Amino acid sequence: MSVEAVTDVLIATAAFRTPAKIRDGLSDPVALDRARAELSASAAEEISRRAEALVARGVGVLRCSQPGDFPAGLTVRGRPVVPYLYYRGDPQVLHRPSLAVSGSRDASAAARKAAAAVGALAATLRMPLVAGNARGVDTAAAEAAAGAGGTVILVAPEGILRVDGDRAEQTDGGPSVTLLSQFEPDTRWSAYNAMGRNRTICALGAVTVVVAAGEKGGSLDAGRTALSLGRPLVVMTYPDEMPAGNAMLIEDGGVAVASAAELRTEVERALGQPEQTTLL
């Protein structure tokens, strides 16, 4: 991780403000140098202090202007999904095919069991699990993945300095967990940001699995976002209950699966891997 890279992102964020303008500014050395030169002495000193403090806390940043470092999955149709990503952990895992999961915070017992199956499958297939660091489905899947020796990528809906550490630590908080945020480090949680980070989760995932979605809200949005990005979408079904959003996503083109065995078969098919007979 580099103080210089974090400094560049802090300058671009302060100078250009909107994601599109930040993206363009980070990709234009002349514009970035101009923004740096226009900083007052006190502003430059404050940005330098913040960058050093972030790196001291183990925070780095990936910039869309550095394609060798920026995850390929986050560039869709020639444009980056986000201009930068703050991270804590191992950024190299972002270059591996990942399994994304989404589902309700208020998950039923059946949904939590299904989420755990998704996490266990990710570990079995040696795919990082990408989740949103919320209670319910996200936590159940992440705990299962980490517990099975897998790798977890948590994408926060707030700044990286505002993340719910207790929930992140439930996955052991160790080297198996990489934390991401597309927001300024001190940004507070908002419903708008939570919806916005769904696009990052789905873009990182080679396949997205929706465990339980309501008739509106973040998980329904995540499933539709995956489809809009051209990512395979797998939707869990249940014998005694069918979340309204799951049915809607299946109508939209998601593939329905009813068991851990079907889940594995469909994920492997979507990845173009040969099916295996070993079940979860």
Where along the chain do its domains lie?
3-88, 91-271
On average, the pLDDT of the chain sits at 91
Higher pLDDT, 35 or 67: 35
* pLDDT bucket at 277, cuts 50 / 70 / 90: very low
**Overall average pLDDT of the 201-221 stretch:** 95
* pLDDT bucket at 141, cuts 50 / 70 / 90: very high
**Overall average pLDDT of the 167-187 stretch:** 75
Rounded CA-CA distance 12/233 in Å is: 35
User: The whole model's pTM is what?
Assistant: 0.91
**Overall average pLDDT of the 32-39 stretch:** 96
Residue that is written with structure tokens 């891997």 in the block: 273
Q: What is the pLDDT of residues 154-173, one digit of tens each?
A: 999 999 998 865 445 544 44
Ordered alpha helix ranges (H), the chain: 3-16, 19-26, 29-37, 41-56, 109-124, 137-147, 165-169, 191-204, 218-228, 244-252, 260-271
Yes or no: say if 222 and 214 are a contact pair by the CB < 8 Å rule. no
Q: What is the pLDDT of residues 216-245, one digit of tens each?
A: 989 999 999 999 999 999 999 999 889 999
**Overall average pLDDT of the 130-157 stretch:** 94
**Overall average pLDDT of the 10-29 stretch:** 95
Q: Looking at domain 91-271, which of 3.10.20.30, 3.40.50.450, 3.40.50.280, 2.60.120.10 is its CATH number? A: 3.40.50.450
* 280 pLDDT more than 70: no
